Structure 1
Amino acid sequence: MTGQIDSNPDFFARVDEACRLLLRGESEAALELIDQLQVERPNAVETIYLLGVFAVTMDEMGRGLILIEEAHHADPECLEYSEALANLHTRVGNLTEGLYYAKLSTTLEPHPHARNLLPEDFKNYFESLDKALIPRHHINGLIKMAHHQYEEAAREFDRQIQLVPQDANVRRDYADALLANKQFETAINQATVAVETAPDDTMNQFVAGRVCQAIGTDAPAAFHFKNVLADKDAPLPIAAAAFTRMSGLSGVPETELAELKQNMRERWELAEARPKEATPSAERKQKIHVAYLSNGLANADLAAVLGPILRLHDRSKFEVHLYEETQGQSTFKQQMANLSDASRYAWNLDDETAAIIIGGDEMDILVDLCLPEADNRAGIFAMQPSLIQIGFAGISGPGLPWINHVVGDAANEQAVHKVMSEGQQFHAIPGFWSVAPSSMLPDVTPLPCLDSGEITFGAICDLAGVTEQSVDAYTQVLKALPNSRLLFGATGHIDGYPRRRIGELFAGTGVADRVAVYDENRLQDRFSIDHEYWRLVDVLLSPGPVYQPTRLTESLWMGIPIVALPSKTIAGCTAASVLAAAGKEDWSTGNVDEFVAKASALCEDRAALSELRQSLRTEMSQSDLFRPIAKVRALEALYQELIDARDKSVG
């Protein structure tokens, strides 16, 4: 497998030269040469390995390990990659892993074309045993995070904290891992300590804001995100993520939102300029080149939206590219790569190199599908390597000045317009959140209230969407139907914090004894949704923000109607968008009274509700929500329209 692209001697001679430069400490010259090699062959295993060696020379051991592990995964038969991992893992204290790679190396053959891949101090495993002194648990935790192994990452960070309790960086990364594990209470504690220890650290403030948003405390979340945006030296991706998250919070005044937009525009003006080699393509081609760049290819909700787009694009008119910012391995990531015509890594490229590659690929349209996390690629989009750059409302784009077009639908148009920056254009398409039906969902079950005698209303157990307004709406429904209860669920494994928080929110409402949280703390497969929950729910209530739209599509597919009460944010319109695509706009209401009336009407005739449960899946299968071809064709029509406008403007 080694050297599978070809054996061009000039390429491998320059690989050897880059290694020699790194060994002599000429890092800048080495990096310049590596950048040239990347532009030529972005996915070449050797360039990934060289970046790993460069990271090690810069004392970035964690990133070095991640990159060299990626090279080894791509070419497991290469001796040098395995030998480097044996020595690196041993140096950082991962003795078991080091021994594994040392043994593996005895069975492998050297690279057949590159002769100078292994640095001198990586050649002696036993010498590395004597040099094992770096904080291995922190580095190992970062590696586990990159591979989406959040439980293992949390354990490593916890071990490092036992050794160095005052390390704010480890506390912050620990909070990040805990949040991914839905261990909210401990995440709150760790994020708090990190901010108190190093309040000027922008990343500490950002992670604290994410934790606060996840537990539904918008005011503290806004405080931390504003601290990020107040730091003029904050990296552009972190500032962009903080802006996107804060602009989606409830209660942000329009004057403050305008200031935030200006903040982002000023950052864009100061951002790294686009290199000449990344000049956007304006040439009319036989097929439109469209690329999707995402850091969320391991995210189930994003994969559910992106997968059908990649699969259903008309290949006679479009050439579809995928730029992967997601590291590690995941089923979703592999599926997305398989569905695209060409897939490239972006996570191992700096912004300038990535922009040059995108320009070289002659992308007519570049779509930002990066979730608002620290690893989004705002720096690439800020260089505008494509004349047409598109964002999707509810994912990324509104208000970011380098995005010139935003896609949404009629349900979220008003909310999106409030966030959009000057010069951005909005485009509504049908079936915005449309997905392919999940093969994992079981058959529809009988209406539970026919046996239990009481109506069970369901609610998504996501504290980010449980606001004071939504609690009031839930309460009014329960009071209107005395023989009913509210069951939060559809969330996978959680700790005890959501149950306590929900108890606090409903205390004093008079209905707290009829509100419960479904226990999904299963010992195996802890992070998938327990489909048993859907068997217990008669009607799903969705007042306010929704950050997991696939929970809504699953509810409808299981025959469970949804009553929505949209709020004024983009996330607050998600349920209305889903219902519009399902052809059930009448289930979306305009105020609390209508919300209560609609829920009551659905439950009034239980025979009719039972019949609806059995027929809804068939009805949904014919709707735009579960026939994403309508969305894809609308997107393609939009893309064609934008290309025609581009040609007219430059022609």
Structure 2
Amino acid sequence: MDVLASLYTRVGRLTDGLYYAKLAVCLKPNPEAQPLVPPDLASYAASLVNVGVSHHLTNAEAALHLGLFDEARDQTEKYLRIHPEDGEGMVLAAKALLALQRPHAAAAMMRAALHHDPRNGWMHALLAEALMGCARHEAALSHQKLAFELAGDDDALRGRLAGSLALQSGACRPAAQGLLGALNDEREAPVRRVNVREPIESIMVGILWDQVYDSPLVHCVTPICRRFDMSVLYVRNVRHDAVGDVLRGAVLRPRQAVGVDDATLGRIVVGDQVVALINLCAPSEIATFPVFKGEGAPMVVHWVTSPMCDRIPGADLVLADPETVDVDRRTYGEERVALLSNLLAFEFPRILAPEEEVLDLPRETRGFAMFGIHGVSARMTPDSVALWSKVLWACPEAHLMIGGRDDWEEGMVTWALDAFAEYGVSTRVHFQAPLEGEGTFAAAKAFPHMVDVILDSTPVGAEVETVHDLWMGLPVVSLRGPTRVGRVGTSVLRAAGRPEWIADDEAGYIRIAAALAHDPALGETRKGLREQILGSRLADPVALGNEIAQCLMQALTARRTQR
């Protein structure tokens, strides 16, 4: 009993440790067993002073990998009650809170962590992400710079930084672009490249995929991957679920690449005789960007990431559409950019759930138009708030609903209402009320039925949300930004056959939004939009897959000719 009490206490299971300690007090000790007890486990009191690895921490890590963010947060809270100053526990807690879109709580957690370890680059990077979710972009940039200085050779941290820097807005964007350029230049430095001496003559296509959680992009990627008969999928996460298994089933050979650094993975790709590597990694801590050198190196292809980067290190071929082509040519050079008809195409549901039916126009029952925006804190930038407020000025009778979430962080609500109050429109801004007892994602399912027109964010637009909004019969207004990451919404609208909802400037955005809000035929547009989407290139992944395959073959043929 003494040994069990000490063991359970050492691993942080204090309740179990106390139980066995009490039981030991009630029992008569056996003198013959005493010599068998290791000295460091002979005292329950000593074990209390030296609590070791907690099962709460390991449970939190597992839950985070599985996408069980509420469970991860609860487990880290229990762990931090035992180890209130442990930096690793604080980092895990902050990651869970960020995934739950609670940036104010995550920022508070990381500030506390930095008091104990001020030179930890990861902590600065996570605090920056949280601050951006709180719309404090200038403060976030300071921590991103510190994280960049402290990153050293940590490619995982560099990848995470690239993702957050791509979301910077306003006056901070030029400095963020400078940091992104420095990150990519270091990755492409000769010393960090994988050398390939012998030319690869196979027809094997490699696909890098790092989406840890239930990524809706898989419904775009999977049907296109099926177009390649000879393909190998390099999976960067340990998660096995229905979505991931669908993608694994779409390729010839799935290969686990968890915990493999860029250089090692690059050598594995070369050993697999991959002639073209499509990098679908989003900038995250498990993303990888192997860079090759030598005449026989595989061709690295930049197609789509989420969030989309303006530049993937080492890309030889960049797939663009009419919306991104000018940005891509400025970034990569005209010779490396191939123009497609569209970048995204999805397989839409064949059987509809009741909540997926397109209902009557909400404007008709309320008597006024209701604009909608998705409550993704990282995209609710000061730039976006200013633009949305101007739309409300142009439509004095209209209101704005922030929705698509089952709960709201108090700090986010306070910030948003204060931000809109600066423009005098806060009384017409509402947060979607939680739907009690309706299950997970109930608010997201109900949101399209509550609004008339969706307003996209700036400078980073929505991607998969825009696709779902259009399919649900909702017009979406999007502003064409100066970067690739700012054109995800416009790319979707063009593929859907609705380029008239794309604005070149703020004045055009306001004009389009106001026209839709007052359009007497808006109800008919809403009813017919789904059929139009299903008949557009956005719903034809086979055509897009064929176009991508043909583009790859042409590029590979041109490379062989140049050798």
The TM-score, its normalising length taken from structure 2, stands at 0.84
Q: Which amino acid aligns with 1:612?
A: T
**Offset, 1:331:** 2.2
Q: Deviations over 1:223-257 (max 9, x none)?
A: 22222222361412321331343244224565773
The TM-score, its normalising length taken from structure 1, stands at 0.73
Does structure 1 retain, via aligned residues, the 8 Å contact 2:322–2:342?
no
Write the mapping of 1:345-356 to structure 2, written as runs, cut at 5 A.
345-351=256-262, 353-356=264-267
Between stretches 354-363 and 640-649, larger displacement belongs to: 354-363
1:374 pairs, out of 277, 282, 285, with 285
**Offset, 1:133:** 3.8
Q: 1:132 to 1:173 in 2, by over 3 A?
A: closer
Does structure 1 retain, via aligned residues, the 8 Å contact 2:344–2:538?
yes
**Other-structure match for 1:282:** 200
CA distance in 2, matches of 1:543, 1:147: 29
**Offset, 1:325:** 0.7
Secondary structure, counterpart of 1:212 in structure 2: helix
**Offset, 1:584:** 1.0
Secondary structure, counterpart of 2:356 in structure 1: coil
CA distance in 1, matches of 2:184, 2:383: 30
Q: Deviations over 1:199-237 (max 9, x none)?
A: 211111221222223333322332222222223614123
Residue 451 (structure 1) aligned with residue 377 (structure 2) = no
Between stretches 228-237 and 176-185, larger displacement belongs to: 228-237
CA distance in 1, matches of 2:14, 2:267: 40
Residue 486 (structure 1) aligned with residue 400 (structure 2) = yes
2:447 pairs, out of 527, 533, 555, with 533
**Other-structure match for 1:559:** 473
Residue 332 (structure 1) aligned with residue 332 (structure 2) = no
CA distance in 2, matches of 1:533, 1:280: 55
Write the mapping of 1:87-106 to structure 2, written as runs, cut at 5 A.
92=11
**Offset, 1:580:** 0.7
CA distance in 1, matches of 2:112, 2:14: 30
Q: Which amino acid aligns with 1:261?
A: G
**Other-structure match for 1:26:** none
**Other-structure match for 2:186:** 266
CA distance in 1, matches of 2:401, 2:175: 38
Residue 257 (structure 1) aligned with residue 177 (structure 2) = yes
Q: Deviations over 1:276-299 (max 9, x none)?
A: xx767521x4xx321211110534
Q: 1:237 to 1:381 in 2, by over 3 A?
A: farther
Secondary structure, counterpart of 1:564 in structure 2: strand
Does structure 1 retain, via aligned residues, the 8 Å contact 2:184–2:312?
yes
Residue 462 (structure 1) aligned with residue 381 (structure 2) = no
1:409 pairs, out of 298, 303, 321, with 321
Q: Which amino acid aligns with 1:454?
A: F
Q: 1:593 to 1:257 in 2, by over 3 A?
A: closer
Does structure 1 retain, via aligned residues, the 8 Å contact 2:395–2:514?
yes
CA distance in 2, matches of 1:300, 1:224: 28
Q: Which amino acid aligns with 2:287?
A: N
Secondary structure, counterpart of 2:249 in structure 1: helix
Does structure 1 retain, via aligned residues, the 8 Å contact 2:320–2:340?
yes
CA distance in 2, matches of 1:214, 1:492: 17
Q: Which amino acid aligns with 2:200?
A: A
CA distance in 1, matches of 2:130, 2:359: 36
**Other-structure match for 2:218:** 303
**Other-structure match for 1:154:** 73
Secondary structure, counterpart of 1:327 in structure 2: coil
Gaps spanning 5+ residues in structure 1: where?
1-87, 98-125
* Percent identity for Structure 1 against Structure 2: 22
**Other-structure match for 1:638:** 551
CA distance in 1, matches of 2:238, 2:484: 28
Q: Deviations over 1:395-416 (max 9, x none)?
A: 4664343222222322133444
Q: Which amino acid aligns with 2:275?
A: D
CA distance in 2, matches of 1:482, 1:259: 41
Secondary structure, counterpart of 1:530 in structure 2: helix
**Offset, 1:132:** 8.7
**Other-structure match for 1:628:** 541
Write the mapping of 1:351-430 to structure 2, written as runs, cut at 5 A.
351=262, 353-378=264-289, 380-381=290-291, 386-395=297-306, 398-417=310-329, 420=331, 425-430=336-341
Q: 1:584 to 1:430 in 2, by over 3 A?
A: same
CA distance in 1, matches of 2:230, 2:14: 46
**Other-structure match for 2:133:** 214
Write the mapping of 1:79-118 to structure 2, written as runs, cut at 5 A.
92=11
Secondary structure, counterpart of 1:300 in structure 2: coil
**Other-structure match for 1:139:** 58
CA distance in 2, matches of 1:253, 1:497: 25
2:209 pairs, out of 274, 289, 294, with 294
Write the mapping of 1:61-76 to structure 2, written as runs, cut at 5 A.
none
CA distance in 2, matches of 1:280, 1:442: 53
Q: 1:649 to 1:339 in 2, by over 3 A?
A: same
Secondary structure, counterpart of 1:486 in structure 2: strand
Does structure 2 retain, via aligned residues, the 8 Å contact 1:271–1:382?
no
Q: 1:552 to 1:266 in 2, by over 3 A?
A: closer
Q: Which amino acid aligns with 1:508?
A: E
CA distance in 1, matches of 2:121, 2:95: 14
Write the mapping of 1:183-194 to structure 2, written as runs, cut at 5 A.
183-194=102-113
Does structure 2 retain, via aligned residues, the 8 Å contact 1:543–1:567?
no
Between stretches 355-364 and 615-624, larger displacement belongs to: 355-364
Q: 1:273 to 1:592 in 2, by over 3 A?
A: closer
Q: Deviations over 1:477-514 (max 9, x none)?
A: 22222221111112454433332221121013222111
Secondary structure, counterpart of 1:301 in structure 2: coil
**Other-structure match for 1:588:** 502
CA distance in 2, matches of 1:142, 1:330: 17
Residue 228 (structure 1) aligned with residue 228 (structure 2) = no
1:495 pairs, out of 384, 404, 409, with 409
What is the number of residues matched between the two proteins?
522
Between stretches 147-156 and 543-552, larger displacement belongs to: 543-552
CA distance in 2, matches of 1:346, 1:570: 28
Secondary structure, counterpart of 2:391 in structure 1: helix
Does structure 1 retain, via aligned residues, the 8 Å contact 2:291–2:313?
no
CA distance in 2, matches of 1:144, 1:424: 45
Point out 4+ residue stretches in structure 1 off by more than 6 angstroms: 88-91, 94-97, 129-132
Does structure 2 retain, via aligned residues, the 8 Å contact 1:413–1:428?
yes
Secondary structure, counterpart of 1:540 in structure 2: strand
Q: Which amino acid aligns with 1:215?
A: C
Q: 1:546 to 1:300 in 2, by over 3 A?
A: farther
CA distance in 1, matches of 2:59, 2:495: 44
Gaps spanning 5+ residues in structure 2: where?
1-6, 17-40
Secondary structure, counterpart of 1:199 in structure 2: coil
Q: Deviations over 1:566-617 (max 9, x none)?
A: 33233321221111111111111122322222222223333x1111111111
Does structure 2 retain, via aligned residues, the 8 Å contact 1:370–1:376?
yes
Between stretches 609-618 and 529-538, larger displacement belongs to: 529-538
Does structure 2 retain, via aligned residues, the 8 Å contact 1:355–1:383?
no
